[in-house]
Amino acid sequence: MSKIQVGIVMGSDSDYDVMKGAAQALDELGIGSEMAVMSAHRTPQQAAEYFAGADGRGLKVIIAGAGMAAHLAGAAAAHTHLPIIGVPILGKSFNGMDSLLSTVMMPPGLPVATVAVNGARNAGILAGQIIGTGEPAVADKVKALRQKGTDKVLATNAEWQKNGPQAPKA
């Protein structure tokens, strides 16, 4: 079992369906992760303790997802120097703009690397890229993942050129 290097946190279990994409990507890259539910507003004390203790427990990156203007990722940045990747979760209002802006618009000095709305898979891959700067085996896995994406497009286009455009197979 790989050592746990990434903490994936979310504001509510209602975020799980999106956030599991980060765990899946990290798994593909051979990086251990843990998941937890915590809220910047509903459980501020517990969240602060988790973020403040993350470095001491060996975590390298934190991925934080929250919907509405809950800005869990920003709260994480306030308590640790570790890199924070924010995942804005699509809610019921404003097409996710509330969450996107509350996650991305951090004050100078406290960056949150924000991925697309519901972009948890990319958050996992970005965490892998960060960890890969110090672990060549992880960097190799990131490169292989990208190559898979390239190969898929090339194969699809080759098929289109042979048999004409087709809708994706289910």
73 binds ligand RP5 (CB under 6 A): no
Of residues 13 and 109, the one with the C-beta less far from ligand RP5: 13
Applying the rule CB under 6 A, the residues between 76 and 105 that interact with ligand RP5 are 89, 91
119 contributes a contact to ligand RP5 by CB under 6 A:
no
9, 29, 66, 120: residue in contact with ligand RP5 (rule CB under 6 A): 66
* Nearest Cα residue to 138 out of 25, 21, 15, 46: 25
Position 39 contacts ligand RP5 (CB under 6 A):
yes
Helix (H/G/I), strand (E/B), else coil: 37: strand
Between 92 and 169, whose beta carbon lies closer to ligand RP5?
92
> What are 7's strand-pairing partners?
34, 62
Least separation in angstroms between residue 14's CB and ligand RP5 is: 3
Ranges within 42-61 binding ligand RP5 (CB under 6 A)? none
Sign of CA dihedral 124, 100, 71, 94: negative
Distance in angstroms (rounded) separating the CA atoms of residues 136 and 30: 12
In 3D, which of 135, 113, 111, 138 has the Cα closest to residue 26? 138
Q: Using CB under 6 A, pick the residue from 6, 9, 11, 77 that binds ligand RP5.
A: 11
